[in-house]
Amino acid sequence: MTRLVILGSTGSIGRAALEVASALGDVEVIGLAARREGEALAAQAQRWRPRAVAIEDAAAAERLRGILPPGTKLLTGPDAATELAALPEAEMVLVAVVGVAGLRPTLAALDAGHDVALANKETLVAGGHLVKAARERTGARLLPVDSEHSAVFQCLAGEDSATVRRLILTASGGPFLRRPVAELSSVTVEETLAHPTWNMGRKVTVDSATLMNKGLEIIEAHWLFEVPQDQIEVLIHPQSLVHSMVEFADGSTIAQVARPDMRGPIQHALSRGRRRPGLVAPMEWDRLVLTFERPEPERFPGLLLAREALRLGGTAPVVLNAANEVAVDRFLSGAICFTGIAATVAEVLARHEPRPAPTLGAVLEADAWARARASEMIQPTG
């Protein structure tokens, strides 16, 4: 049995992971964590009977007391997920929380020697060098859950990394791939959240529409696979069936193809790369149509901003990510228009002087600085 902790268990990835764990049958869920969804967390605890649950929100924690199964410990407060990630009995920690909040628990899990199944882009964007150092200290494995990085991970299995010519990350293009660029400033939140192929959380869905998610994935791939950014490309692939490709020195390319179902990459990570029967339906090859195109820079400025942040290095990716989180949140609340997201990120990044090789404290300081600057400059629309 693999003893598993799931951080972000009430979100879309966390719920899918519990489905996968149930189907596999050899996964023992010993820890569950959520930020504030107390009722959903309580229901999961009743089903899985974990050794501990963690919740950040104090009011939700009070409602949880007395309704958890006997023997389930309750951890509360801002450090609860980090404490749960380091649970000595754990063997693997699935990090599926949103944003830079995933960095501390990821480092705690790796420092405890636990393998980490990472479904959080921002952890490597903000602290890739810290995560790399933690992995090297303990030898714990980092297993990607993002569909694109899981695909690259699978394509590289058994291959000599020295023969890699380039990584090709695919992107659906989101709901506005064919919308005239001049109309993007007026798109609604509801339109933005109507993703054509994937069912994801709100923040990730907005990032898919701006293509900032792919920019963050370039930075993530740089740290995961130790590839320079000029060897990482992005192609628009509206069908979302080819999840990524790796091109090799001999001109051949290996692609990972599957239905757009996050249970596939989750299972691959929880199984540590072993192929096992799962919940994802097989492909219907006789109906397959695959198209690819290059992203338009004027339509997807987030992609260029991410490349610039990676080029600058140090704390620049931290600032990129934090400003984007604030801007996406303000867009979802109606405070700014869709195109204001990239504009806000660009302005905050331009004001920042990157610090090289930052410590965890410097990363969190840069994160706070960027959030404050982004909040200051955002003005309500209308």
Residue-averaged pLDDT of the chain = 94
pLDDT for 302: 92
d(CA 259, CA 75): 37
User: Percentage of the chain surpassing pLDDT 90?
Assistant: 88
User: What average pLDDT does range 185-191 have in this prediction?
Assistant: 93
Q: What pLDDT does residue 65 have?
A: 86
**Which has more confidence, 379 or 371?**
371
Identify the residue whose tokens are 């598993």: 4
Q: Which is more confidently placed, 365 or 357? A: 365
pLDDT band at 204 (very low <50, low <70, confident <90, very high): confident
Helices H, strands E: what count in the chain? Answer: 15, 11
Per-residue model confidence (pLDDT) at position 197: 75
Mean pLDDT confidence for 357-375 = 93
CB under 8 Å, gap of 24 or more: what pairs does 37-41 form?
37/10, 38/63, 38/64, 39/63, 40/10, 41/9, 41/10
- Residue 380: the pLDDT is 53
Strands (E), 258-371: none
Q: Is beta strand 253-257 parallel, antiparallel or unpaired with respect to 242-248? A: antiparallel
Residues 38, 10: Cα–Cα separation, whole Å: 9
Mean pLDDT of 156-161: 95
Whole-number percent of the chain with pLDDT over 70? 99
Closest CA to 344 of 369, 316, 366, 325: 325
What is the per-residue pLDDT for 382?
44
Average pLDDT estimate for 262-267: 96
Average pLDDT in the 141-155 region?
A: 96
In this prediction, residue 33 carries a pLDDT of 97
Residue 214 has pLDDT above 50, yes or no: yes
What average pLDDT does this structure show over 66-77? 93
Please check the confidence at residue 379 and state whether its pLDDT lies above 70. Answer: no
For residue 240, what is the enclosing H or E element? none
Range name among 148-162, 184-198, 337-351 with the lowest pLDDT average? 184-198
pLDDT of 120 over the 70 cut: yes
**Residue 112 scores a pLDDT above 90:** yes
Please state, in angstroms and rounded to a whole number, the distance separating the CA atoms of residues 235 and 147: 15
pLDDT tens digit string along 80-92? 999 999 999 999 9
pLDDT band, very low/low/confident/very high, at 381 (cuts 50, 70, 90): very low
The predicted structure's pLDDT at residue 223:
96
Torsion sign across C-alpha atoms 153, 154, 160, 164: negative
Over residues 132-142, the mean pLDDT reads 97
Q: CA separation (Å) from 38 to 60, 62, 171, 275?
A: 5, 9, 34, 35
Q: Which domains, and CATH codes, for the chain?
A: 2-144 (3.40.50.720), 174-210+298-382 (1.10.1740.10)
Task: For residues 168 and 166, give the distance between their C-alpha atoms in angstroms, rounded to a whole number.
Answer: 6
